[in-house]
């Protein structure tokens, strides 16, 4: 419990943590606030009418859009130790490194899940208000509330764990944050659109699959776009995302135990 208390102190003594929490919420809100406008203006013959429950589910699915900040919180929990050279003090206080890492992973998972669920709920409320400004809007499917909350919790926990692992493997904080952002915001999303067979097994595809939404916005000419029918079912997607988290945690453990602390 001592280590958990120390990790919580490190996290919540820093103003940047509150900035990242606000960032998570803000990005999620932006997604649900503007997607009703975006979905009714796709053009090129692609139509996503808000009179369809599937499309309204899609609007609410944007409520998970802030997860990138949760990943960054995870990165900072570990890479911040090397950035500030506090790793020495941390491992002097508890030289059994596996215990330190377990505390970091645990705190990251719980805090990541809570932040992502909070952001999701706030964004869902924002989306409801945004949709109320349109006419002829269908009601969403009832299952989305539970699905989205569960998906937000799993996504927040796993991405925060992955962030800790990245911070362990890539000790340079700036490189770890930049690399994570480029992967999740650019590479992962591009793969999800242009190479669905691979993209559906990557985080963005798995998160989308967990939401159990039914959208088909593939352009028939280029074949680009997303058809959620191509994705995994929610439970296998959640399990695979959890497996990513466990895999990264094991990598982090292996790395932390082996390498010298500078």
Q: Shortest Cβ distance from residue 13 to other proteins (Å)? A: 5
Output the CA–CA distances (angstroms, integers) from residue 162 to 104, 145, 192, 245, in the order listed: 11, 25, 19, 6
Contact (CB, 8 A) for 82 and 169: no
Q: Shortest Cβ distance from residue 101 to other proteins (Å)? A: 13
Q: Shortest Cβ distance from residue 80 to other proteins (Å)? A: 7
Nearer to other proteins, 5 or 178 (CB): 5
Nearer to other proteins, 110 or 150 (CB): 110
Nearer to other proteins, 16 or 47 (CB): 16
Nearer to other proteins, 62 or 104 (CB): 104
Nearer to other proteins, 95 or 247 (CB): 95
Nearer to other proteins, 51 or 86 (CB): 86
Site of interaction with other proteins (CB under 8 A): 2-3, 5-6, 9-10, 13-16, 80, 84-86, 88-96, 260-262
Q: Shortest Cβ distance from residue 172 to other proteins (Å)? A: 15
Q: Shortest Cβ distance from residue 257 to other proteins (Å)? A: 10
Reduced 3-state DSSP string for the chain = CHHHHHHHHHHHHCHHHHHHHHHHHHHHHHHHHHHHHHHCCCECCECCCCCCHHHHHHHHHHHHCCHHHHHHHHHHHHHHHHHCCCHHHHHHHCCCHHHHHHHHHHHHHHHHHHHHHHHHHHHHHHHHHHHHCCCCCCCCCCHHHHHHHHHHHHHHHHHHHHHHHHHHHCCCHHHHHHHHHHHHHHHHHHHHHHCHHHHCCCHHHHHHHHCCCCCECCCCCCCCCCEHHHCCCHHHHHHHHHHHHHHHHHHHHHHHHHCCCC
Q: Shortest Cβ distance from residue 198 to other proteins (Å)? A: 37
């Amino acid at each position: 419990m001592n280590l958990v208390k120390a990790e919580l102190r490190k996290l919540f003594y820093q103003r940047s943590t509150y900035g990242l929490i606000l960032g998570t919420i803000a990005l999620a809100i932006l997604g649900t606030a503007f997607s009703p406008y975006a979905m009714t203006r796709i053009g090129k013959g692609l139509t996503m009418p808000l009179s369809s429950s599937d499309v309204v589910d899609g609007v609410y699915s944007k409520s998970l859009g802030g997860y990138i900040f949760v990943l960054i919180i995870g990165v900072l929990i570990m890479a911040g130790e090397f950035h500030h050279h506090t790793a020495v003090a941390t491992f002097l206080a508890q030289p059994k490194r596996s215990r330190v890492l377990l505390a970091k992973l645990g705190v990251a998972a719980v805090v990541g899940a809570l932040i992502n669920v909070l952001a999701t709920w706030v964004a869902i409320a924002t989306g409801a208000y945004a949709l109320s400004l349109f006419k002829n809007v269908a009601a969403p499917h009832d299952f989305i509330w539970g699905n989205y909350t569960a998906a937000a919790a799993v996504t927040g926990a796993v991405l925060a764990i992955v962030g800790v692992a990245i911070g362990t493997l890539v000790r340079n904080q700036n490189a770890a944050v930049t690399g994570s952002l480029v992967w999740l915001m650019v590479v992962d999303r591009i793969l999800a659109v242009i190479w669905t067979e691979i993209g559906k097994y990557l985080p963005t595809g798995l998160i989308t699959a967990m939401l159990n939404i039914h959208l088909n916005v593939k352009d028939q000419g280029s074949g680009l776009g997303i058809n959620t029918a191509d994705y995994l079912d929610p439970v296998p997607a959640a399990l695979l995302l959890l497996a990513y988290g466990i895999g990264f945690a094991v990598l982090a453990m292996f790395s932390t135990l082996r390498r010298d602390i500078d």
